[in-house]
Amino acid sequence: MNISMLGSGFIGRFYAEAIQGKRSKDSITVIYSRKEESARTFAADYGCTTWTTNMEQAIADPSVDIVCIALPNHLHEEAVMLCCKHKKAVMTTKPLGRNAVEAKRMLDAVEAAGIFNGYLEDLVYSPKFLRANESIRNGALGSILWAKSREAHPGPHSDWFWNIEMAGGGCMLDLGCHCVEITRSYIGKDIRPVEVMCWAATQVKPIEAEDHAIALIKYETGAIAQFEVSWAFRGGLDLRDEVMGTEGTIWLNDSLRTGLEMFTTGKAGDYVAEKAESNSGWLFPVGDEVNDLGYNHMFADMFIAFEKGTAPKETFYDGYVVNAILDACYRSAKSKLWEPVQLEDWRGKTGVAQISGLVSYDEDNYLIKEETTHYGATKLILKNKQTGAIKEFVK
């Protein structure tokens, strides 16, 4: 696969490490950057045959099979439209758009052009997530009632993130897009998000956008998703998920307390991990950062799907749904009310039943709880189906 990389910054380099690090038959042949020096350096570092400061030239290059967008949010639409013009397969970093209207324009454009489109949401490709979600899909947790995802760190690397016009939002758009797709995947991407309640504020950073946010997302089954995001968290990068179902629970930690702990004075310090605040003291490196954060699995899925002529696990449609949910979060943060998720284009299930965890103990009673006491007996708490009376007894 010959790739044209649009963007030579932090995420572009992460992508390059994944693309050229495991599948040796793939290579970045063209690099576009807005700065000539950055383009030249990237080309030298990753063996690109062509560098350019002209975006259209990078996309139209006849040697290119697929374009990878690793640009600031406000440039995504321009790049996608050029891919449509030149009929080039395209993958773009998250979020798809700065809002759902922008995302829908891009979705409509790639589908009208008939080109392959992939949404680069790496955290739904992390090995821990893949294993957890496989267990959920196989029924290990029963019906999913609640899914929570948290991402918090001291803030992004580049200046444009802090500009609300260029970025489209603050930590909620930047980090919440991860959390929304993670929890949506746990609950089921074919289950419609209905409404949200959100709090967001600017508590620490001198910016117009929010640096903290918490939201609840209600799904048609009655399941609730929850996210917590921050650009002001001290202590590095905190990525955690929790999922609760009628038959079980999963806890997942991708960054802090990874099982690899290191103490260093920092006198000979070097890069430890993404968003690490320090190179001294007790640190928690990730074993294989590019792989553990999902980049290897993500690009493998994209390229294999492209070769087979199928859709990848994450497409522009997923990016559009995420943007629509986050738009509702921003409305709720202002109104202080539950706000509906406005999806002009819904492709999942409709009219699904509400989750019911009612378990019959016998013909007359529901089982509320069964437990073994400290003295070895089995205790039951039952509710009568007719009268509603609750009683307990010991077997």
pLDDT of res. 21: 77
* pLDDT above 70: percentage of residues in the chain: 96
Q: What mean pLDDT comes out for the span 241-255?
A: 93
Summarize the confidence of residues 15-34 as an average pLDDT: 88
More confident residue, 268 or 189: 189
What confidence score (pLDDT) does residue 283 get? 78
Mean pLDDT calculated for residue range 286-290:
81
* Cβ–Cβ under 8 Å, residues 312 and 300: no
Instruction: Give the residue extent of every domain in the chain.
Output: 2-122, 124-256+285-293+314-340, 365-394
For residue 69, give both structure tokens.
């967008």
**Highest-confidence range of 182-196, 257-271, 278-292, by mean pLDDT?**
182-196
Amino acid 282: pLDDT: 78
pLDDT over 90 for what percent of the chain?
80
Residue 263: HSE in the Cβ half-sphere, 13 Å Cα cutoff: 0
Please check whether residue 209 is in contact with residue 164, taking contact to mean a CB–CB distance below 8 angstroms: yes
CATH topology of domain 124-256+285-293+314-340: Dihydrodipicolinate Reductase; domain 2 (3.30.360)
Sign of CA dihedral 200, 205, 206, 209: negative
Q: How far apart are CA 188 and CA 101, in angstroms?
A: 24
User: 255 vs 210, which has greater pLDDT?
Assistant: 210
CA distance 170 to 154: 13
Using alpha carbons, select from 215, 244, 242 the residue that is nearest to residue 230.
215
pLDDT of 22 over the 60 cut = no
Q: At what angle do helices 176-187 and 127-137 cross, to 10 degrees?
A: 30
Q: Measure CA of the first residue to CA of the last residue in the chain; give whole Å.
A: 65
DSSP, collapsed to helix, strand or coil, labels residue 235 as: coil
This prediction's pTM: 0.92
Residue 269: predicted pLDDT: 61
Superfamily of domain 2-122: NAD(P)-binding Rossmann-like Domain (3.40.50.720)
Q: Is pLDDT above 80 for 101?
A: yes
Asked if 104 and 345 touch (Cβ cutoff 8 Å), the reply is yes
**Range with the lowest mean pLDDT among 138-147, 270-279, 368-377?**
270-279
Task: Kindly state the average pLDDT of the residues 125-147.
Answer: 95
pLDDT at 270 over 80: no
Note the pLDDT of residue 271: 61
What pLDDT does residue 24 have? 67
Task: Give pLDDT tens digits for 38-87.
Answer: 999 999 999 999 999 999 999 999 999 999 999 999 999 999 999 999 99
pLDDT above 70 for 209: yes
pLDDT computed for residue 266 by the predictor:
77
Rg (CA), the chain: 23
Instruction: Kindly list the distances between the CA atom of residue 256 and the CA atoms of 35, 156, 218, 242, 377, in Å, as whole numbers in the listed order.
Output: 35, 18, 28, 15, 40
- Residue 25, pLDDT > 90, answer no
Angle CA(257)–CA(242)–CA(235) in degrees, nearest 5?
Answer: 35
Amino acid at 377: A
List beta partners, residue 213.
200, 229
E strand map for 17-157: 27-32, 50-52, 66-69, 89-93, 117-120, 144-152
For 123-134, write each residue's pLDDT tens digit: 999 999 999 999
In the block, residue with structure tokens 């998000």: 193
